[in-house]
Amino acid sequence: MKARSKIYLVDSKGLVVKDRFEGEVLQHHKLPYAHDMSTMDNLLETVKTLQPDCLIGVSAQPKTFTKEVCEAMAAQKDRPVIMALSNPTSQAECSAEEAYTWTDGRCVFASGSPFDPVELNGQTFYPGQGNNAYVFPGIGLGLNVSRDLTLTLTLKSNPRPQRLEGRTSHR
């Protein structure tokens, strides 16, 4: 619960809050992340108000992380984390070049698809990749460390949630 309270979601209608619009019912998967606060209509306003350490883009909406959004992140954090994870690169929320340029090379950048290295002010930046090949081993490690686990998966081939339970043995 504590970790969830640190996560803020922005969708096509703005910041996901409990009482966003009179009469609107939030989708069930957004409810656990809905905060009890005033609504914010756009990402820039949200970044300026909440001052996040990290932006994670998974919307497949290109150019969502605008120059103004990246500059606001850089104005608030020494090393803002910008993760434009949507695939392919044409759907990424911003490019590596844009993120590095708009943050004067101070951001930690990761993308879902590979971007070429970026030359900026005589320095070469090598964009990180945060795609499934890197995410799934981390999930596996987290499950192993947790010892007792329950994992719910929804597969495209079988949309009914499958509950997997297991134990790991630690010596």
Question: What's the mean pLDDT when you consider all of the chain?
Answer: 82
One domain, residues 124 and 136: no
Q: What pLDDT shows up at residue 25?
A: 77
pLDDT, residue 15, reads: 87
Q: What are phi and psi of 48, to 5 degrees?
A: -65, -35
Distance (Å, whole) CA 51 – CA 78 = 12
Say if residue 89 is in the same domain as residue 158: no
| Helical segments of 87-131, H only | 96-102
Same domain for 120 and 139: no
User: Based on the domain organization, do 76 and 120 belong to the same domain?
Assistant: yes
C-alpha 77/C-alpha 135 separation (Å) is: 25
Residue 120 resides in a domain: yes
Pairing of strands 128-129, 123-125: unpaired
Same-domain check for residues 22 and 68: no
> In this prediction, what percent of the chain has a pLDDT beyond 70?
78
Does a structural domain hold residue 13? yes
Does a structural domain hold residue 47? no
Beta strands in the chain (DSSP E): 10-11, 14-15, 54-57, 81-84, 108-111, 118-120, 123-125, 128-129, 148-155, 158-167
| Confidence (pLDDT) at 150 | 57
Q: Is the pLDDT of residue 168 over 60?
A: no
Same domain for 34 and 22? yes
Q: Per the domain annotation, does 46 fall within a domain?
A: no
If asked whether residues 70 and 15 sit together in one domain, one would say no
Kindly report the number of other CB atoms within 10 A of residue 72's CB atom: 22
Whether residue 134 has pLDDT greater than 70: no
Q: Does 26 or 66 have the greater pLDDT score?
A: 66
- pLDDT of the residue at 153: 53
pLDDT range class, residue 33, cuts 50, 70, 90: confident
Locate all alpha helices (DSSP H) within 37-145, ordered by sequence: 43-50, 67-76, 96-102, 132-145
Higher pLDDT, 106 or 34: 106
Same domain, 36 and 59: no
Give the global pTM.
0.76
Collapsing DSSP to helix, strand or coil, 97 comes out as helix
Residues 108 and 156 in one domain: no
Q: What is the domain range of residue 92?
A: 53-130
Total domains, the chain: 3
The enclosing domain of 60 has a CATH number of: 3.40.50.720
Same structural domain, 69 and 106: yes
Q: Are residues 79 and 107 in the same domain?
A: yes
* Shared-domain flag, residues 60 and 123: yes
